[in-house]
Every structure is written in C-alpha cells, then in structure tokens.
Amino acid sequence: MGQPKIVEVDFYALKEKLKRAADAGGRIEKTDKERWHKYLKEHGVNETAMVAWAKVKFMSGKSKLVAIDHGESWDGLYAYSDEDESALKWQPAQP
C-alpha cells in the first residue's frame, strides 16, 4: 500500500470550488466538529501532518483547513493561505 501525499493545487481554482461546494452544502469547516471528525475518520486524513505541511509551505504562517465533500473531482482536504495565495491538498494513499 502506498503512502498519502500532500500536493500543491491551484489556489484560485480552489477558491472557486470552495464557493461552489458551500452553495451545494459540501464544504466542511473545522468549526463543524461533528462533520469534520467524521470526514477525517472516513478518509483516513492525518490532520496534524496537514497542519505541519501548511506551516512549512505558507510564509505568512496563517492557513485554513477545509474539506470538500459533495461528489466531484475536487473532493478532498485542503490547506490554503489567502495571504500567500497558495493551497495544498491531501491525497490518500493509493493501493
């Protein structure tokens, strides 16, 4: 079994996808604790690793975590920084 990866994604495309996901009810914020923990568990996401990568990647030190879950190709967990105009995506391990 392979290892999960954290990859860079287009910041502006992500921001657009986040708007669409919010409109469709598929955006999961960390403040929605029940949905957030359920998402992390179901998808095997290591939140601590994602936060650590974001701290290294984003110069401003300010990042946000968000998940998209509404059945489209951009579904996944993301870390992004508005100040740095940069975004990362957690990619699950491939069998």
**Predicted confidence (pLDDT) at residue 1 exceeds the cutoff of 70:** no
pLDDT of 67 over the 70 cut? yes
Q: Is the pLDDT of residue 81 over 80?
A: yes
Whole-model pTM above 0.85?
A: yes
When the pLDDT of each residue in the chain is averaged and rounded to a whole number, the result is 91
Who has greater pLDDT, 66 or 3?
Answer: 66
Cβ proximity of 28 and 70 under 8 Å: no
Q: Which two tokens stand for residue 8?
A: 């860079």
DSSP string, 30-88: TTSHHHHHHHHHHHT--HHHHHHHHHHH-TTS--EEEEE-SSSTT-EEEEEETTTTEEE
